[in-house]
Amino acid sequence: MENKRRTFFRRLAVWVAGAIYLLAVVGATVYSQTGYIESLPLVTLAMVDGNSVPNEAIVDLPDGSRVLNYVEQENGPWGKRYILRQRQMTSRRKADENHTLAYDMNEFYWPVATSVSGDLYLDGIEVRLS
C-alpha cells in the first residue's frame, strides 16, 4: 500500500512540474509576441539605389563621424528578428538635396533605416518594422 502511495505522489509531482513548465513556455511566448515587441524601437525602411542612400539614414555622431543605419534580418526563437546595425561612412558626397553617394557601399543589400523612434539606439539592438 505504501508503495502505491509513493508512486502516486511521484506521478503527481511530475504532472505538476510539467504543467508549471507548460505555463511558463506559454507565458514567455505570449509576452514575446505582444509586450516585448511593442516595447522595441520602431524603424522606417528605405532601399538603397546603387550607392545612393537617403540622407535620413545617415547619422552624425558626437565625434564628428557619420554612420549609416541599416537593418539585418535574423532567425530568432519565435520567428524573424530585425537588428539595427550601423556602418561607418568614410567616402561620400552629396548627390542631391535628398541623397548622398556612398562610395564604400558596393554590394550593399540591406534596407536602410530612415527613421528610428526613441532617442537612444545603438548598433545591435532589436527593432520592429513600421
Domain ranges of the chain: 1-39, 41-129
3-state secondary structure of 4: helix
Q: Is domain 41-129 given the CATH code 2.40.420 in the classification?
A: yes
* 84 vs 43: CA distance, rounded Å: 9
Q: What is the pTM of this model?
A: 0.70
Torsion on CA atoms 117, 75, 54, 93, rounded to nearest 10: 120
Residue in the block written with cell 532589436 = 126
3-state secondary structure of 10: helix
pLDDT (0 to 100) of residue 107: 65
Mean pLDDT of the region 33-54: 81
* 115 vs 98: CA distance, rounded Å: 14
* 126 vs 83: CA distance, rounded Å: 4
Q: How far apart are the first and last CA of the chain?
A: 64
* 22 vs 11: CA distance, rounded Å: 16
pLDDT (0 to 100) of residue 17: 96
pLDDT (0 to 100) of residue 20: 95
Top pLDDT among 70 and 17 is at 17
Question: With 80 as the cut, is the pLDDT of residue 109 above it?
Answer: no
